[in-house]
């Protein structure tokens, strides 16, 4: 068994869609990034890559490469899943948290779970997503950005 941790953060900006966990969330600002800046999906990818000792998303999908500009993070997640499969890794479970003062994430979590489980080929009880605020503290509390932290457990298939 192997454990991985992932973290991602993006600044909120005008003129961008807010996409988290593959879900477009209505909001006056979106996350700024080279791709769609989906903090939850990016944290999941980093956690999976870390657990498999395959580096991080910056290594595989650098923000200096125009090939990834505007990328759908779910497509990148599919690529990470294929990398794990090539090495005979199976995802056991994923536990993630989204840190955002606003908008409220709870109404969108069931759809995030459905989409992410579909992409990863997981049963719904193998993925947990939570959301919290920072009570007005820090960059997420001041509504400057949104972050996500994820822990995963993977194992080799024999």
* Binding site as annotated, residues: 8-10, 34-35, 42, 56-58, 61-65, 132-135, 139
The whole-angstrom separation of Cα 76 and Cα 44 is 11
Where do the DSSP E strands lie in 14-70? 18-20, 23-25, 30-31
Q: Which two tokens stand for residue 110?
A: 């069931």
Cα(135)–Cα(10) distance, integer angstroms: 19
Binding positions for a divalent metal cation are 8, 10, 42
- 107-143 b/e with 16+ CB inside 10 Å = b? ebbeebbebbbebbebeeebbebebeeeeeeebbeee
DSSP character at residue 124: G
81: tokens are: 């899943």
């Amino acid at each position: 068994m192997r454990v991985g941790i992932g973290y991602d953060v993006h600044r909120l900006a005008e003129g961008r869609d807010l996409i988290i966990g593959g879900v477009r969330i209505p909001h006056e600002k979106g996350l700024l990034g080279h791709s769609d800046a989906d903090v939850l999906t990016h944290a999941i990818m980093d956690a999976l890559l870390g657990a498999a000792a395959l580096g991080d998303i910056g290594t595989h999908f650098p923000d200096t490469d125009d090939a990834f500009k505007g990328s759908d993070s779910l497509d990148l997640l599919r690529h990470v899943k294929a990398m794990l499969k090539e090495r005979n890794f199976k995802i056991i479970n994923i536990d993630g948290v989204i840190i955002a003062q606003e908008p409220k994430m709870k109404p969108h979590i069931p759809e995030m779970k459905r989409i992410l489980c579909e992409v990863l080929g997981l049963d719904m009880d193998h993925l947990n997503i939570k959301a919290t605020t920072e009570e007005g503290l820090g960059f997420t509390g001041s509504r400057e950005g949104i972050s996500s932290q994820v822990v995963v457990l993977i194992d080799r298939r024999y």
